[in-house]
Amino acid sequence: MFNGSIPALITPFKQGLFDRAAFANLVERQIAEGSIGLVPCGTTGESATLTHAEHREVVELCIEVAAGRVPVIAGAGSNSTAEAIELAAHAKQAGADAALVICPYYNKPDQAGLEAHFTAINDAVSLPLLVYNVPGRTACDLLPETVCRLAKLPNIVGIKDATGDLGRVSMQNAGTLGEQFFQISGDDPSALGHRSMGGLGCISVSANVAPAMCAAMHMAVDDGDLQTAIAIEARMIDLHLAMFASPSPGPAKYVLSRLGLCEPDVRLPITPPDTDAREAIDAAMAKAGVL
């Protein structure tokens, strides 16, 4: 189900409101240019500053526009287990194919707490779940041994791993051997290495701005053409890094605004890229051939 390039979609705003038309066009562009799935309301979608009503609206519109052509993995994370269950239940009701559930941020649970959190969501909602480990944002780390225990639960089907620690792919493969468990990178600069270790794809920030190139890299890996994949990544590595030249998703929205696809608006406490960041982003865009 999840094998290739999957954008962590931005949420476009216009005059402070969700821009439905721009979002629908972005979804169509992603499908046309080879993305194999869509993630609305993830970190890159500024889920932390969406209202609950906006969150539901974004997920529902993504599912409506995708119309079954590619799977939709709805962001459903929270630092409150009860709220994460509510969001996952909405994703199921709306028709999402899966939900992406982040480790609880700020609370700093230990491994027992993390396992209990994801187990509770698994038990409450009958929907495929991808756990999302990104210690740099959550201040807690879902360790491989905990992942392997969670993989035995019926609804937990995979992980988005944004640690950049490629050794975890092998450890988690060994611990979930014989089970269908999707290991997806959440870190664009190391995504090719993640694939070579046994990963299946990437939930990507860069795919917002260069969907065809990201899809082509993964297709080259699927075809066994490592040299082509390496060549594509050599063109894209500066762009991957530039997506974090200032707090994300500011850089992605800046690029998309230059492409005429949405406004560059972000919500506080995120601010737009400054002059130095824009110059770095522009140089990376030129190298990648995005413009």
Catalytic residues: 132, 160
First-to-final CA distance of the chain: 31
Mean pLDDT of 30-53: 97
Please indicate, yes or no, if residue 22 is contained in any of the structural domains.
yes
Give residue 137's domain range: 5-217
pLDDT number for residue 180:
81
Please indicate, yes or no, if residue 276 is contained in any of the structural domains.
no
**217 residue type, one letter:** M
Residue 105 near residue 79 (C-beta atoms within 8 A): yes
Please indicate, yes or no, if residue 239 is contained in any of the structural domains.
no
Please indicate, yes or no, if residue 241 is contained in any of the structural domains.
no
What CATH code is carried by the domain that includes residue 74? 3.20.20.70
DSSP state of 260: T
Mean pLDDT of 45-50: 97
Question: Is the pLDDT confidence value at 1 over 80?
Answer: no
* pLDDT category of residue 176 using cuts at 50, 70 and 90: confident
CA 145: distance to chain centroid?
23
Please indicate, yes or no, if residue 48 is contained in any of the structural domains.
yes
Please indicate, yes or no, if residue 264 is contained in any of the structural domains.
no
Please indicate, yes or no, if residue 275 is contained in any of the structural domains.
no
Give the count of beta carbons closer than 10 Å to the beta carbon of residue 159.
28
Question: Is the pLDDT confidence value at 200 over 70?
Answer: yes
Question: Is the pLDDT confidence value at 178 over 80?
Answer: no
Give me the number of domains the chain comprises: 1
- pTM above threshold 0.85: yes
Q: Nearest Cα to 267, choosing from 44, 40, 60?
A: 44
pLDDT number for residue 291:
79
Exposed, middle or buried, 172 (CB in 10 Å: 0-12/13-18/19+)? Answer: buried
DSSP state of 38: B
Please indicate, yes or no, if residue 73 is contained in any of the structural domains.
yes
pLDDT number for residue 290:
87
